[in-house]
Amino acid sequence: MLSNRLPLFNDSIHVSDKRVIVRVDFNVPAEQNKITDDYRILRTLPLLEQLRSRGARIMLLSHLTEKKEHRSFEPLMENFQQVCGFSIKFAPTPLAARQSKAPVTLLENLRAFPGEENKDPQFAKELALVGDLFINEAFSQSHRSNTSIVELPKLLPSYAGPLFYEEIRKLGEASSPEKPFLLILGGVKFATKIGVLEHFMEVADSIFIGGALANTFLVASGFSVGESPVEQDAVPHVRNAFIGKPNVMLPSDVRVEGNEVRSVSDIRTGDVIYDLGPVSSAALAEKLQEMRMILWNGPLGFVERGYNQATSELIDLLAHSKARVIIGGGDTLALIRKQGLEDSFYYLSTGGGAMLEFLAKGTLPGIDALLETRNSM
């Protein structure tokens, strides 16, 4: 198994008085300098608390973007400390982080430095000077070939953190799932889902397509979707590879703007699809009852605009299902937490794109980097 080959951080590794670099995913949504979803931070805390209790000095690395714009961590520092429950010093540069004597230091947004996204060996050397060993606890960002993910492990003794390891182990179970097995895919981009679809076409007993992703499938099936977004370039491939397959389920009705319900054969010229309709939700609910394992990534509606009825109903159904349920994707996880159901599932992955790429390929750039490291502590 892949998880058994990873260099895993454990109690035998000496960290007292060591500077431990931890790559985390603190790329969290915030409004008016207040964090609005702290789930990924909370999942990282067990490792950070363990390191603190063992006398390590922690050097945190992460990036932070909002609507593709790079933001500074500095205005959020007070809120980060409230969420974490301990003091964190802000360091604007790698040199400042290197000079910090604080028990926990957070370097400025990695994407403020040009070398992060360019796989720059020189920037990796600057980061390596900050610590004595490296732990990757950012599975959710390990599909990116960034310097802190793939170059830094070449320069320091490097390990997978406990959350990173758990992600690989639990998601790995979906590669050979208990059957009957249902895959539910929502969200927007077909390009991020194609690998998972192709991987599971011969594995899944049923595949349900929802969200804006379903628009492209409906067009490939010959339906009009009005003014709804469609990935036109993907239509020919979808038509040839997925339409008409007995295990692929598409919506039969939808909700358009104004929450009106339409059959997919009755969508009007100016309509925009925002959510599943009740017949489609009922069909999916019936299918759930047969399953022993369910994998879900991506919301079923435009939740950012409040069209979350189908997604919220599915969350409630899956929370009471007897199947093993694995769910990933930030928007979906935010709704799960809002409904207070985060402890009701077999596994909630912190990964969105990373989850999809790992399921499709069986590895990630961040995993490969750890497998290639040569540890000697």
pLDDT (tens digit per residue) in 328-340: 988 899 999 999 9
Mean pLDDT of 198-224: 96
Structure tokens given for 230: 């469609």
- For the entire predicted model, the pTM comes to 0.94
Query: If DSSP codes are grouped into helix, strand and coil, which group holds residue 40?
Result: helix
Q: Within a 10 A sphere around the Cβ of 16, how many other Cβ atoms?
A: 9
Backbone angles phi, psi at 50, to 5 degrees: -60, -45
Gap between the Cα atoms of 81 and 34, Å rounded: 12
In tens, the pLDDT along 241-286 reads 999 999 999 999 999 988 899 999 999 999 999 999 999 999 999 9
Mean pLDDT of 176-200: 93
- 277 close to 313: Cβ distance less than 8 angstroms: no
Q: What's the pLDDT at 69?
A: 75
Q: What's the pLDDT at 12?
A: 95
Residues forming a β-bridge with 185: 209, 297
User: Which alpha helices (H) appear in 54-161, and where do they start and end?
Assistant: 77-84, 94-99, 121-128
Helices (H) and strands (E) in the chain, counts: 14, 19
Mean pLDDT of 79-96: 97
In tens, the pLDDT along 141-150 reads 999 999 999 9
Provide the pLDDT confidence category of residue 376 given band limits of 50, 70 and 90: very low
Structure tokens given for 96: 């400042």
In tens, the pLDDT along 14-47 reads 999 999 999 999 999 888 889 999 999 999 999 9
Q: What's the pLDDT at 4?
A: 80
Q: How far is CA 345 from the centre of its chain?
A: 16
* Closest among 116, 26, 149, 42 to 77, alpha carbons compared: 26
Kindly calculate the radius of gyration of the chain based on its CA atoms and give it in whole angstroms. Answer: 22
Cα-based distances in Å from 174 to 29, 108, 169, 295, 334: 29, 36, 9, 7, 22
Provide the pLDDT confidence category of residue 375 given band limits of 50, 70 and 90: low
Residue with tokens 């070449």: 154
Residue 255's Cβ-count burial label (10 Å; 0-12, 13-18, 19+) is buried
Backbone angles phi, psi at 219, to 5 degrees: -60, -40
Least confident range from 76-80, 211-215, 351-355, 371-375: namely: 371-375
Provide the pLDDT confidence category of residue 67 given band limits of 50, 70 and 90: low
